[in-house]
Amino acid sequence: EVVARYTVDEHVLSLRVKVPAAYPLERIEVGEDPSSTTRPGVDEARWRLWKFGVQQVVWGAGGGGVWDGVRVWKRNVQGWFEGQVECAICYSIISLMDGTLPARPCRTCKNKFHGGCLYKWFHTSHSSSCPLCRSDMF
């Protein structure tokens, strides 16, 4: 069994690749590490695509190995988080409140914020202005 982990901020994404005792008569299992309960910043559809990519490498006709599959997964995860910019309110890529990525852009300065961070900002500042450029968000 191989467990691959990728850490972003304080959050960990985990992938488990399990080789059954009866291999090659039984397929190698690709899935989540049971000890990991969430996939912060990654929606279900994207996770399935990444898992499918690993399965294609491991099970495919090209005869890729487990490590090749893990490398594909790592490249996908790195590529996904590499282009992400931290939220200018909480200074994290992944929200500590709900595990989302910054997705709420300001129309003027184009900076992105977590929805929960913006809600808290609007509530505490009693204003609907952008935390950075102070232009109206709506």
Give percent helix, percent strand, percent coil of the chain, each to the nearest 5: 30, 20, 50
Amino acid found at 30: V
Domain assignments of the chain as residue spans, ordered by start: 2-82, 86-138
The tokens 């893990």 sit on which residue? 70
pLDDT 10s digits, 45-78: 888 888 888 888 888 755 678 888 898 889 888 8
| Token pair recorded at residue 124 | 């505490």
pLDDT 10s digits, 86-138: 898 988 888 867 878 899 999 999 999 999 999 999 999 999 999 999 999 88
Find the helix or strand (DSSP H, E) in which 5 lies.
strand 2-8
pTM above 0.85, yes or no: no
| Rounded-to-integer distance, Cα 18 and Cα 24, Å | 12
| Token pair recorded at residue 74 | 């790592």
Domain at 86-138: CATH code: 3.30.40.10
The tokens 């006709």 sit on which residue? 61
